[in-house]
Structure 1
């Protein structure tokens, strides 16, 4: 056997052994994440797909949709308790994240770069809400979830009472996403990177990422351990999240051409210190594109208004409830 062939076979054996170790460690970490952070609520089935939700309270229906890398725990940490006395609150895990299935088999697999559009996700969650008796809810979305709330208004206009858009992408942005999203969005990167993240992401790295999301504010005490970030570092969830974000911009381009068709009440809340989803690129233009939209700008607030300025967000929900005839 030639030396080059021997070296090639040795390298392949080393990669295989390394891959086996990484995937075994990743599987252990995934199992532990699901022990530490089990489903908080119940499930409904939409076209054979499970959708995880948490429901609490009574009153007009209020649907909450989390952002990228999130799950229901972002809202159940504190926000649900602040609104459940006045609203029947339904919090969903988005497709591919938390404990909700992908919207279709066409989005699965480690080498598959396809991902659910905001419209795909809105249609799936609207069907789930209808099964729970929420035929025309107020829909609040944070960050990527706000894009889905807008898609819900565009795709299912008769099945939504109002939109509460919190620090959400709504218009095309210049430049490129970060390297992690770009790599995870490719076929090869999406196959190889998630097992490494799942196997080796440290709690300190997770807490540092959370701190950067809240900046310039500080995450509430206990949030980093409550929110279940390790659910998102599971291999399939990490791929779903990365590919949904990586493919978002073209969908936003098309959606932005239709915002003038939205006639329901739209409340927009955005901090002027948000560097993740900049106010000037997204919410200021959106406030001009949507007829009769109300924009509330929070001085010095970053990307997490529903945690650091929840009173302002709740006031916007209440205004929308009155404007839509639910109160």
Structure 2
């Protein structure tokens, strides 16, 4: 005699179908919101410069001023607008300033899906500068951008005239990658996390993170409105930034033993209150690794010295230019 039919099987099937429907609706809503968020961000903060094609790859650049060429390379989670808030215009009084968006950030698209290394980024930006006639510029790189500038100096020593690492990530460190970056750089969780963040996280969360990076200095008035936090929350940008951040320590570990070959004038700036890129881990050793490098420690300054002490940054660029025979 067969057992009576179970009511639990149809109920479980119905529950499973409802769950699948709910997940499908969540996915559709997430993708719609992410696309809408990205569209609003790009409408509010459109490209501020022009696009230069480098071997078919677009690079977003902003140029101003005249004089010796000076290339500005921004940090993680950012774009060239960080420099055009104030510093670039001031430097343009006596330099030909070229600010570039790094691959995957701002309006320079990603180079593939694997996260461009600091060496690959340096090569792309070097060729972009060369197409603009800046064959041997002074390089100023902030934070992650400082690592890219160092990779440029190591791998293309004849394609720069001077180097200004600004709170630059330059030497290996021991701390683990944060949970946020472990998640967003994960092979399959990362794209999902990027979509969810883009769709559901408001721009003010980025603004709060920016405040932490500026500490102990306050964020300048109108900085967030200029910088474009919504650009940081685009899916491709979140993903590329995470992959770059996950790989940089290993890349610096391979690079830092070659700093002794850098022969151009080097002017290093770093705040002693920087809790994002530590002075003792990065710039103090860097000053010993490059013969003739000069380190200026900015007392009480955090991770954004180009906003906290603009005078010191301009003076460092002037010293590098003078030492290079450009002024």
Question: Normalized against structure 1, the TM-score is what?
Answer: 0.95
Q: Corresponding residue for 2:250? A: 250
Matches of residues 62-77 of structure 1 in structure 2 within 5 Å? 62-77=70-85
Structure 1 residues 163-188: Cα deviation after superposition (integer angstroms, max 9, x where no partner): 10000111111111221111111012
Correspondence 1:11 to 2:14: no
Structure 1 residues 256-296: Cα deviation after superposition (integer angstroms, max 9, x where no partner): 11111111111110001000001011111111111111101
Q: Corresponding residue for 2:124? A: 124
Match of 2:58 among 40, 46, 50: 50
How much has 1:6 moved relative to structure 2?
Answer: 3.9
How much has 1:2 moved relative to structure 2?
Answer: 5.0
Q: Corresponding residue for 1:111? A: none
Please state whether the residue corresponding to 1:172 is helix, strand or coil: coil
Matched residues in 1 for 2:229 and 2:156: separation? 31
Please state whether the residue corresponding to 1:257 is helix, strand or coil: helix
Q: Corresponding residue for 1:283? A: 283
Q: Corresponding residue for 1:22? A: 30
Distance 1:188 1:204, change over 3 A: same
CA contact (8 A) 1:69 1:229 kept: no
CA contact (8 A) 2:203 2:229 kept: no
CA contact (8 A) 1:213 1:303 kept: yes
CA contact (8 A) 1:167 1:305 kept: yes
Matched residues in 2 for 1:188 and 1:101: separation? 21
Matched residues in 2 for 1:123 and 1:325: separation? 25
Q: Corresponding residue for 1:60? A: 68
Structure 1 residues 10-67: Cα deviation after superposition (integer angstroms, max 9, x where no partner): 3222111101001101100100000000000001111211000000000000000100
Please state whether the residue corresponding to 1:141 is helix, strand or coil: strand
Structure 1 residues 167-220: Cα deviation after superposition (integer angstroms, max 9, x where no partner): 011111111122111111101221111111111222332221111010000011
Correspondence 1:96 to 2:104: yes
Matched residues in 1 for 2:244 and 2:16: separation? 36
CA contact (8 A) 1:49 1:102 kept: no
Extract unaligned runs of 5+ from structure 1.
108-113
Structure 1 residues 62-89: Cα deviation after superposition (integer angstroms, max 9, x where no partner): 0001000111110111011111010000
Matched residues in 2 for 1:279 and 1:273: separation? 8
Question: Normalized against structure 2, the TM-score is what?
Answer: 0.95
How much has 1:8 moved relative to structure 2?
Answer: 3.1
Q: Over alpha carbons, which structure has the higher Rg?
A: 2
Extract unaligned runs of 5+ from structure 2.
1-8
How much has 1:4 moved relative to structure 2?
Answer: 4.0
